[in-house]
Amino acid sequence: MIGKTDLKLEAFLQQEAKQRKISRSEWEVMALITQGYDIPEIAEHIKIQASAVRQRLSQVYDKFEIAGRGPVKMAKLQKFLMSRYQEYQTVLPETTDPNCFKNDWGEAPKLSGFHGRQQQLTLLKNQILQQQCRLLAIQGMGGIGKTRLIVKLGQILQNQSYCLFWRSLKNTPSLSDLLTKLLEFLNNEIDIPESIEGKISLVIEQLNSSPCLIILDDAEHILQSGSSGKYIPGYDDYGLFFELVGESKHQSCLVVISQEKIRGISLSAQLSSQVHQFFLEGLNAEEVGKLLQEQGLKGSATHWQEMVHDYGGNPLALKLLSLMIIDLFQGEIGNFLKHRTIVIKEGFREILDNQFYRLSDTQKQILFCLAEAGKPLSLKDLQEKSDDFLSLSKILEPLESLLGRSLVEKIQHQPGNEVLFGLQPLIQKYIKQHQLSPL
C-alpha cells in the first residue's frame, strides 16, 4: 500500500490505527488519503465502489473526531495525520528500526518467472484483506503451484504492512517447537509458557497486535497416510491450533498449504465465514502458452490447449517436459504432439510416487479400476469392478479424498445426469505405466 521507501510513515500509521481501533479496511483508505489520493482514485486502486470508500472514511473521521463536510473533512484528516507524523519523527529514537513489519521466509523457495494466477491472487488477497479471513487452507496436487502462489501472495501482503512467518512441516516439527519459534519471531521480549494451550493463547494475542501472515507449507506430512485428513499420532494439537486461530478474533491470517484435505479445517470452513478452503487447479491454455514460450518452446493456441488436456495444466510436469522437447523436437510442440504420447519425467514421477504411496488400499483400488477401464465410471460401475464388490459406504470417503488430491476427476455433462468419475490423461498414464505394469 505505502511506498517501501517511507517505512517510518507506515509504522506511524499502524500505531495510530492501533490506538484508535482502526480496522484493516479503514486503514487501507486512511493510508491512501495520507498519500494524497482522492476518493475516485482510492476506489480504483483497491477495486471497490466510491460509496464504499466514503463509508469507510466516515468511520475514520469519527474515530479521529474530524468535523466538517466532504472535502473539508478529508483535508483536515490529511493535515492532522501529517502534523502528528512530524511530531512522531522528532521523538522517534535513532536506534529504532522503522521496519517493524518483520519477515522470516524460512524454507520458502525463491520466486522467479511467475505466470498467470491473477484471478486466484485477487481472490485470496480479498479474502484476507476485505473478508478478514483468519485461516486459509490451500489444497492441490503436487507440482500444481500452491507454494509459488502463496510466495507471490506473501510478497503482495508484505508490501501492505503484514509481517510474514513461513515454515515447512515436511520434517514434522512438534507444535510446541513451532509455536516457540513463532512467538520468538512475533515478540522476542515476552515470556513463553510451557503448555501448548498457553502458547496458542499467547500467539493469538500477538496476532491481534499487528497483522501477520503465517504460512505452513507441506502440511500433508502431519497427516496419516491412507486417511482422510486425520493427523499422525501425537500431532492432534495442530488441529486445536488451527481451530482456535480460525475462530478467535484477530487481524492476522494463518495459511496452511497441503496436497490433502485437512478434515478439521474443512469442517471449520463450513461453519465460519473467517475460514476458507481454496482448491488450486492447473494453468489454463493461455497461461500454459506463456510458461512454455518462456521455456523456449514454439507452438499455437491449439497446442497449448492440447498440453492442458494431457498434463492437466500442471506447471512442474510441463517445465520438466520442456527440456526433452527442446532436445528431441527442436522446441516444436506440434512435432512432439504428433506422436500422441504422454511422457512423465522423473522429477514429476517422484511427486506422484509420494502421493500414491500415501493412499489407502481402497483408494489405490479405485484408481486401478478407473485406469483399467480407460473411461469414466459411475459409482455403481466402481462397486462392480472392485475386487470384493465394495459397499457404497466404503467407496464414498476414499473417492472424496481422491477428488481432493486431484487424482480423480468428477464428470457431469448435464445437470441431472449421472455423475461419472475418471482420470486425467497424465494420471491414467502414470497408473498404467508405473503401478499396473509388471516389474
pLDDT digits (tens, 9 = 90+) for 298-338: 999 999 999 999 999 999 999 999 999 999 999 999 999 99
Identify the residue with better confidence: 276 or 27: 276
- 133 with 251: CB under 8 angstroms? no
Task: Specify the range with the lowest mean pLDDT, choosing from 60-64, 244-248, 250-254, 289-293.
Answer: 60-64
pLDDT value of residue 396? 87
241: pLDDT strictly greater than 80: yes
Rounded mean pLDDT, 171-175 = 96
SS3 284: coil
Residue 139 backbone dihedrals phi, psi, to 5 degrees: -130, 145
pLDDT value of residue 255? 97
Q: What's the chain's Rg over C-alpha atoms?
A: 25
2: pLDDT strictly greater than 70: no
pLDDT value of residue 40? 83
The mean pLDDT of the chain is: 86
How far apart CA 44 and CA 74 sit, in angstroms, is 18
- 61 with 77: CB under 8 angstroms? yes
How far apart CA 32 and CA 16 sit, in angstroms, is 14
Task: Specify the range with the lowest mean pLDDT, choosing from 36-40, 140-144, 252-256.
Answer: 36-40
Identify the residue with better confidence: 71 or 230: 230
pLDDT value of residue 94? 39
pLDDT value of residue 405? 84
132: pLDDT strictly greater than 60: yes
99: pLDDT strictly greater than 50: no
Task: Specify the range with the lowest mean pLDDT, choosing from 308-317, 324-333, 347-356, 391-400.
Answer: 391-400
Count CB-CB contacts under 10 A for residue 18: 14
Cell of 210: 499487528
pLDDT value of residue 71? 67
137: pLDDT strictly greater than 80: yes
DSSP state string for 169-224:
-TT---HHHHHHHHHHHH-TTSPPPSSHHHHHHHHHHHHTTS-EEEEEE-GGGGB-
125: pLDDT strictly greater than 80: yes
93: pLDDT strictly greater than 50: no
Q: What is the pLDDT of residues 62-86, one digit of tens each?
A: 888 887 766 677 878 887 887 777 7
pTM of the model: 0.74
- 248 with 129: CB under 8 angstroms? no
DSSP state string for 133-164:
-SEEEEE--TTSSHHHHHHHHHHHHHTTT-EE
169: pLDDT strictly greater than 70: yes
Cα separations (Å) of 197 from 4, 175, 192, 201, 252?
Answer: 37, 11, 11, 6, 19
358: pLDDT strictly greater than 70: yes
Cα separations (Å) of 429 from 95, 357, 372, 437?
Answer: 61, 17, 11, 11
SS3 391: coil
